[in-house]
Chain A
Amino acid sequence: MSASSNLVPIGAIRQPVHGRHHILSVLVENKAGVLARVALLFSRRGFNIYSLAVAPTDDERFSRITMVVDVETAPLEQITKQLHKLINVLKITELDPSDAVEVESMLVTIVAEGGSRSRALELAELFRGQVLDVNAERLTLMFALAPSALDDVEALLGEFGIVEVQRSGRIALARLPKPVRRVARRGKVS
């Protein structure tokens, strides 16, 4: 397969629809089948899980599932209640995107030959990327960034020709409480 047939269009949009973007952090027992039970509650209603990351917590009996879902608020409330009913689910926290720190990582292989290689490395450095693999024609880079910054990197790397890209899905934690109350900005952004 030629490299060009795998090109991702520049500016591929990886952000969920604004206003329907919910981050759920679900603490579950680390047991077989738990992910299927969680996923089933979304799929049976035809809702899409936008991204998903699962890994054991510091206590290996439990895992944390971080999921970004693309659902209106009302049905989401019903789904979280249903999630709570799962015997293996201990805790569900909905993180407000404006009140959470979110990170997503990406592995990307790009075409980087001759003159383009140094420009690619420059770009990687700018976004604190690392080179994980290299050969004469290609580079594999790794980034861990806020999801929107990751979108920017991906778009910019598109110019070089993306051979393959793999994103992890986001992980998130609530922001730490701050001594001063931040004023919530409301209303439309014009």
Chain B
Amino acid sequence: MRLTGAQALVRALEMEGVDVVFGLPGGAILPVYDPLLDSPIRHVLVRHEQGAGHMAEGYAQASGRPGVAIVTSGPAATNIVTAVADAAIDSVPMVVITGQVPTGAIGSDAFQEVDTTGITMSVTKHNWLVTDPADIPRVVAEAFHVATTGRPGPVLIDLPKDVSTGELEWYWPRRLDLPGYQPVTKGHPKMIEQAAALITAARRPVIYAGGGLVRAGAERELRALAERTGIPVVTTLLARGIIPDDHPLALGMPGMHGTYAAVMAMQRADLLITLGARFDDRVTGRVSAFAPEAKVIHVDVDPAELGKVRRADVPIVGDLRNVLPELLRRLPAEPADLGAWRATIAEWQQRYPLSYVPSEPGSATKPQFVVERLRALTPDDTILVAGVGQHQMWASQFWTFRAPRQWINSGGLGTMGFAVPAAVGAKAARPRQMVWAIDGDGSFQMTAQEIVTASAERIPIKVAILNNGYLGMVRQWQEMFYDERYSEVYLSPDLPDYVRWAEAMGAVGMRVDAPEEVDAAIEKANEVDDRPVVIDFRVDTFEKVYPMVPAGASNDDIVLPPHLVGDGR
């Protein structure tokens, strides 16, 4: 069967089971958009290509399947780079297809030409410049394989216009020939044996659960390990929900804005069982002072993570879904008695819980209160998406997570503007689940136009803007570390008018000025099912995220909220 390269591409996407793609057409990708009309694949037309990338990420994180974005060459390719980098650092499986100028024009500064594979080389797991239509089915099959296996990540296929208009004899590769790509899945038995021995001997162990567990889909295995051994679990920003927050062994998030119990448990631990986590600087604080007495078991599918930041006493390369059951098999039936350790941790939890001072009657709504009410008033399986800033930390802290894939945010790159498009992607993947985004007023303004996409495509997401009129997280750093010298962080809560803006974009817009109005607005938003909703929550401008480990400080120097230490400030 003779097909054009473009037809072969669309057919290959169908072979891979793709049901939705996010994109925006243009000159170099035009040939691909024609056969899309005849395909059962749904295309979501974005308003900016960065949005297509984050939507693909949201889709992937909610569904566990790779997200797909299709954009044209030049400015469209550069527009999507932020999302590709975001997916790379958070290990999100994603396939991006970019149009390219015809092969004969490559390198000539042709109209809308950029060196897309060159630009994205360091932010993709791999990329391909296709120069022969006959390579298309093979490259697509390879791309999906690479994106979804081993440590997942984004890949990019750059498709010159003459390659998509050229012809080929259709085929679908039966096997892939990638001699340099063989991810290790099974852990080394000897190492697993040693890990079991360390766990058995430990008296102050902590499970340091990272995003890799979510990517591996290893929540059952993790829970089995924790419950069998009675070892408490900290969940990193990317792993929130991998064990329910109301589980007795759950300590919440570690790191810069982590719970006191999670931070101190790691600091005082004699063993860190590190699972799909990577000792990010936001978790470790000053590395030389991090968990000084802890031995380290480190399990990761990516060998380059082992020993990168912290030496592992027992490094294990492998897929967590294989390694954890093997580990469990080697543990003695009777777990060690961790009573004293658990009691110490329980005392930390009791003395220094996550908390805030509720607002006085008549004063501004506390942002944490909005998060708590949202959790209370939404279904259990609601997917929560966040932007980047204070609101993201409050969302992570004050939402009670109960399952993985229900928390989607930009961890490693910290990309403001992530929330709205990622929520659209998540909702496209999981239309029956409610999807709420908690966004900052600054973050919202970066990609708000994707509300238009959501309206036009009938993807009814809900957005709670915690509007503090500031680039709040930066404002917090200037307050704490720059003598309250506020430089370029004021945004104004009223400009733009979020309600009218939302309405102009086809959404329901609401504004909440006082704590008493919070519940009614959320309930009203929950009723809306045919269009997006944006609620402008006017929140306390001066609220800060606590606890906080200042950047570069030791985790021992964790700063608690003033009301818990009672210094009267």
Contacts and interface: CB of A to CB of B under 8 A. Distances in A.
B122 A33 contact: no
Interface string A60-101: 000000000000000001100110111111100000000000
Given A81-B303, A84-B304, A85-B302, A29 B121 contact: no
Contacts of A36: 118, 121
A86 B180 contact: yes
A178 interface: no
Nearest to B307: A77
Interface in A6-29: 28-29
Interface in B304-318: 304, 307-308
Contact of A40 (B121, B126, B146, B304): B121
B179 interface: yes
Contacts of B433: none
A44 B85 CA distance: 15
A37 B179 contact: no
A176 interface: no
Nearest to B118: A36
A78 B304 contact: yes
Contacts of A89: 180
Nearest to B308: A78
A78 B118 CA distance: 22
Contacts of B125: 85, 87
A183 interface: no
Given A36-B118, A85-B302, A29 B308 contact: no
A32 interface: yes
A32 B129 contact: yes
Interface string A34-51: 001100100010000000
B308 A40 contact: no
Interface in B286-313: 302-304, 307-308
A166 to B, nearest CB: 26
A44 B122 contact: yes
A87 B308 contact: no
B179 A29 contact: yes
B333 interface: no
B304 A85 contact: yes
Interface in B156-195: 178-181
Contacts of B178: 87
A86 B180 CA distance: 8
A87 B146 contact: yes
B304 A88 contact: no
Nearest to B304: A81
Interface in B109-123: 117-118, 121-122
18 contacts: A28-B180, A29-B179, A29-B180, A33-B129, A36-B118, A37-B121, A40-B121, A40-B122, A78-B308, A81-B304, A81-B308, A84-B303, A84-B304, A85-B125, A86-B180, A87-B180, A87-B181, A90-B179
Interface of A: 28-29, 32-33, 36-37, 40, 44, 77-78, 81-82, 84-90
Given A86-B126, A87-B125, A87-B181, 15 more contacts: A29-B179, A33-B121, A33-B129, A36-B121, A37-B121, A40-B121, A81-B304, A84-B303, A84-B304, A85-B125, A85-B304, A86-B180, A87-B178, A87-B180, A89-B180
Interface of B: 117-118, 121-122, 125-126, 129, 146, 178-181, 302-304, 307-308
The 8 closest A-B pairs by CB, nearest first: A81-B304, A87-B126, A90-B180, A87-B181, A89-B180, A88-B180, A82-B304, A90-B179
